[in-house]
Structure formats: C-alpha cells, structure tokens
Amino acid sequence: MEPNDHVASLDLKRLLYRTMLRIRLFEERVGALVEAGEARTPCHLYIGQEAVAAGVCGALQRDDFVWGGHRSHGHYLAKGGDLRAMMAEILGKETGCSRGRGGSMHLIAPEVGILGTVPLVAATIPLAVGAALASKLSQNRRVSVSFFGDGATEEGHFHESVNLAALYQLPAIFVCENNFYASHMPLLGRRRADNIPASGLAHGIPGVSVDGNDVMAVYEAGLAAVSRARAGEGPTLIECRTYRWRGHVGPSWDMDVGVQRKDELKDWLPKDPIARLRNLLLNEGLQLHELEQVEQAARDEVEAAVAFARASAYPDPGELLKHVYVEERKGVLL
C-alpha cells in the first residue's frame, strides 16, 4: 500500500467510526428518553447493528436512495439525515423530519435520498425496486438500497421484488440484516435452513453473506454491489449477519424472552462493531485524542439535539389533516 492509500483508508475508517458512534449515542439517548417516558413513540433500537448501515451507506452517494423499516434510525443517520430533526420527530415535534406526525418508524429525508421508512415488514422492498426502475428508465445511475430484516425474507413482497429487479437488471441492492430474530421468533423456528443468500441465487442474482459486525467487510460488499448496479449489471442480495443487543422494541435488554438469547448475547457483545473498528484505528496509527474528539463531538451533537427537540413546539392539532396528501414536491429528489 502506498502512503497516500494508507491515509485514504484511515480517513474512510474514521468516517465510518463517526457514523457508527453517532448512531450508538443517538440510540442510547433515545432509549433513556423512552425509559423516562419522555419519548412515547415505539422505538426499535439498532444498537449492535450499526456496521450494516454505516458500511453500506458509506459506499453510496448523496443522491442514491435508501429505504428502511421499523428499525431505521441507523439508516437515516448513515445516509446523512439530519440528527436534530430525527430527535424532534421522536419527541413528536413540528420540527421533526416528518413534522412530528410519524415518530420513530416513519422517517423521511428526501434531500439525502431517504424517501421513507415504513414499519410494515418488507413494505419498502418493492418501493426500492420502483425507484430503481425509475433510475434505469431515466438513466441517472442512481442506486436504490433496501434495508430489511431476516423476517422480511419470508414475505412474498421480498421474492417478487427480487425477481422483478433481477429480470430487468435494475440498480437495486437488497440488504438483509440477519439478526436471527423476527420479534421473539428465532430464525430456525421460522424456516428450514439458515440460507438467506440462496434466495438471491434462486432469482439469478449474486447472493453474498458478510460479517455484519465488521464494518469494512460490509463496506466492501456494498461497494461491489454499487459498482455492479451502476454498471447496469443488476441487483445484489447482501446478507449481513449481526445481532441486536436490546429487545425487539424499547430499551430493555430482553432477557426474559428465553435463556437462548441471554447465552447468545454474551457471545455477541465482544463482537461490538464499534469497539472493533476503534481498536483497528488505534492499531493503524490514529491517536487516542483524535478518537476522543470524535466521541465528544458526537455526544455534544446528541445533547444539542435533545435540547432542540425539547424546545420545539408540538404540531398544531388544527393541522391534523394537513400533509395527508401530496401538496408540494419541493426538495424531493425524483
């Protein structure tokens, strides 16, 4: 590696570290707000899975599309969504990214290509394919990424979408975050085999599996899929194997839903994607104080967002029916 490559690679890793850390600190703060009863929207925390959002979005450009579901705080931040606006959304304020009407599970940031997260399992997979079809028709080379859980691969939507994207060679990337559970139901209680990538192969597209707690492995897989998509070579299915630390919804550690999870969690905690990258950065020559600066800045940003959200007004009840139908398209990247 040339010295310049080393600097570039260190810069990239530092960027991915910052992205993951902002997600982790944001989520921990939101968990505390839920526990305190200040945040009332159901929050599905992403803690433990940060490398997936950071790695894939790190390989995208600002105007590429990202679609998510009920557990999408990480996708929103990694793609460049405004952190303050998401905090305000979670507290139900007018300054929120969905003007306080959507809550944690309905995030939107069209200015950075996030056209919506929807909590119906698998619901945004076909929307991602639609956006990819639009990209192909207008030849704008914009890639459309759908993030979804392992549970979503059991929905018909998923298979129909992959088939259509494969048939038309669309610039779509299907990112399955396999955290081995759908609510409290383990993967092998729902399907015969632990073989999600095979669904890609069955539809005639690459189906790859990566360690979803290794942000560089996720980034590399994302980059390969993005180059395929931009070159007109069609979609890729990427399975990222990871684990959510907290319960299905809310901040609890969910130890009461079976001993199996307790034993598994003990094995997954040392695979913390953030600690792993931090060690790598230090081994590769980044100074401790540089990392501490990144950490302090993220902490300050999250606290400033809480203050901003608290100081913001609730939506006017008289405007309940406003924004139900499309009234303006300003800022939408279509």
Ligand X SMILES: Cc1ncc(C[n+]2csc(CCOP(=O)(O)OP(=O)(O)O)c2C)c(N)n1
Partner whose footprint covers residue 53, from Mg ion, ligand X, none (CB < 5 to 8 Å by kind): none
* Touching ligand X, residues 143-162 (CB under 6 A): 149-152
Rg (C-alpha) for the chain, rounded Å, is 19
225-246 as b/e: b if 16+ CB within 10 A: bbebbeeeebbbbbbbbbbbbb
Q: Which amino acid makes up residue 79? A: K
Nearest Cα to 118, choosing from 106, 103, 102, 100? Answer: 106
Beta strands in the chain (DSSP E): 65-68, 114-117, 144-149, 172-178, 181-182, 185-186, 207-211, 236-241
Partner whose footprint covers residue 70, from ligand X, Mg ion, none (CB < 5 to 8 Å by kind): ligand X
Of the candidates 95, 161, 179, 236, which one interacts with Mg ion according to CB under 5 A? 179
Give the nearest distance from C-beta 182 to ligand X in angstroms.
3
Confirm or reject binding of residue 240 to ligand X (CB under 6 A). no
Among residues 149 and 234, whose Cβ is nearest to Mg ion? 149
Give the nearest distance from C-beta 194 to Mg ion in angstroms.
13
Site string for ligand X, 170-209 (x = CB under 6 A): ---------x-xxx--------------------------
Among residues 228 and 248, whose Cβ is nearest to ligand X? 248
* Touching ligand X, residues 22-81 (CB under 6 A): 70-71
CA distances from 162 to 127, 128, 263 (A): 12, 10, 34
299 burial via Cβ count (<10 Å: 0-12, 13-18, 19+) = middle
Question: For binding to ligand X (CB under 6 A), which residues are involved?
Answer: 70-71, 119-121, 149-152, 179, 181-183, 248
